[in-house]
Structure formats: structure tokens, C-alpha cells
């Protein structure tokens, strides 16, 4: 009696043939075996259907893992956006333009207060002129420094020796 040919589901191949069948290296095939995706039928032998099914299981697992990762990123982004909206509503986070407007208003009030000092200090014309000169010099230096600080803040540069805060995850 002649030996019968094994059915396609029972046919076995060597390690190199199995790797070629699913277009991977023999080392990658062994990794699939270690990870439990492909089962050996014997020493260095693999059933064709087990190799193909194992590779499909691996690819499905990779796809699911990638989909879960992108879902996690989306959830994390949504959570950050929600936290940002709450911080804006609670006024613990303000718009950059609002912050700059507040800084400009405070600087303007401070410089105006310095301008009014000579009249508050004395009515004597000579002394008042001398104090106005001092206040004008101080106001000029402060005005220049305020402008430098505001420009640094706009550019995200360090101000007054402090480093800008890094974005935190």
C-alpha cells in the first residue's frame, strides 16, 4: 500500500520553511513560539496551519495593542483638556493676553504713582524740580525694565534669573 499524502492541515514543515511561509526570520518565528502564538509539532517541525494561525493571532494582538494605545492617548488628551477648562473656569489658569494686560495695568499704575510723588512731597519749586528729576530717572529705568520683562515673558524666556516652567505631563 502506498503512503498517503498528509492533509494540508496536518502537513509539517521545517523551521526555515515555516519562517519563509509567513515572511519572517527563523529567529522571529522562535519568538512567536516563545510568546505562545505558534506551537511546535515536534523538534524543529511545525504544522502549516499552526504557523499561519499563530501569525494571524500575533498580527491581531498587535493591532489590538496599537488600537488600545491610541485610545489611551485620546483619553489622556481629553482628560488634560477637561482639567484645563476647569482651571480656566476656576481662574487658576488665565489667558496669556489677560495676564499681559494685567501686568501692563500694574506697571502703568506704578509709574503713574512715581510721577505724582514730587507734588506730594513738597510745594517748594526748587526742591520739587530736584525730586521730579530723580523720579523721572527712576521711572525711565523702571519703564525700560518693565518692557524688557514683558518681552521676555512673551518670548518664553527666563525673567529675573528664574527659568521658565517646563510643561509637565
Confidence of residue 56 (pLDDT cuts 50, 70, 90): very high
* pLDDT > 50? residue 167: no
The upper half-sphere exposure of residue 12, i.e. CA atoms within 13 Å in the direction of its Cβ, equals 10
pLDDT score of 168:
42
pLDDT score of 80:
92
| Mean per-residue pLDDT, 120-138 | 92
Closest CA to 115 of 131, 103, 102: 131
Residue 47: enclosing H or E segment and its boundaries? strand 45-47
pLDDT digit string, tens, across residues 85-103: 999 889 888 888 888 899 8
The upper half-sphere exposure of residue 67, i.e. CA atoms within 13 Å in the direction of its Cβ, equals 6
What separation in angstroms does the CA of 105 have from each of 34, 49, 99, 154? 68, 76, 10, 16
pLDDT score of 161:
54
The span from the CA of 119 to the CA of 130, in Å, is: 11
Residue 10: enclosing H or E segment and its boundaries? none
Report whether 136 contacts 130 (CB < 8 A). Answer: no
What separation in angstroms does the CA of 141 have from each of 14, 24, 75, 167? 84, 71, 50, 33
Amino acid at each position: 500500500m502506498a503512503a498517503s499524502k498528509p492533509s494540508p492541515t496536518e502537513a509539517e514543515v521545517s523551521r526555515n520553511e515555516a519562517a519563509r511561509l509567513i515572511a519572517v526570520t527563523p529567529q522571529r518565528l522562535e519568538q512567536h513560539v516563545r510568546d505562545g502564538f505558534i506551537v511546535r509539532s515536534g523538534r524543529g517541525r511545525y504544522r502549516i496551519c499552526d504557523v499561519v494561525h499563530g501569525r494571524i493571532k500575533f498580527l491581531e494582538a498587535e493591532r489590538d495593542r496599537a488600537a488600545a494605545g491610541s485610545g489611551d492617548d485620546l483619553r489622556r488628551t481629553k482628560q488634560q483638556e477637561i482639567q484645563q477648562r476647569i482651571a480656566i473656569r476656576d481662574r487658576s489658569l488665565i489667558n496669556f493676553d489677560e495676564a499681559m494686560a494685567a501686568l501692563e495695568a500694574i506697571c502703568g499704575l506704578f509709574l503713574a504713582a512715581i510721577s505724582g510723588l514730587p507734588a506730594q512731597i513738597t510745594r517748594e519749586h526748587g526742591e520739587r524740580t530736584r525730586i521730579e528729576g530723580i523720579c523721572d530717572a527712576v521711572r525711565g529705568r523702571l519703564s525700560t525694565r518693565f518692557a524688557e520683562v514683558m518681552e521676555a515673558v512673551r518670548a518664553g524666556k527666563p525673567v529675573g534669573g528664574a527659568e521658565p516652567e517646563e510643561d509637565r505631563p
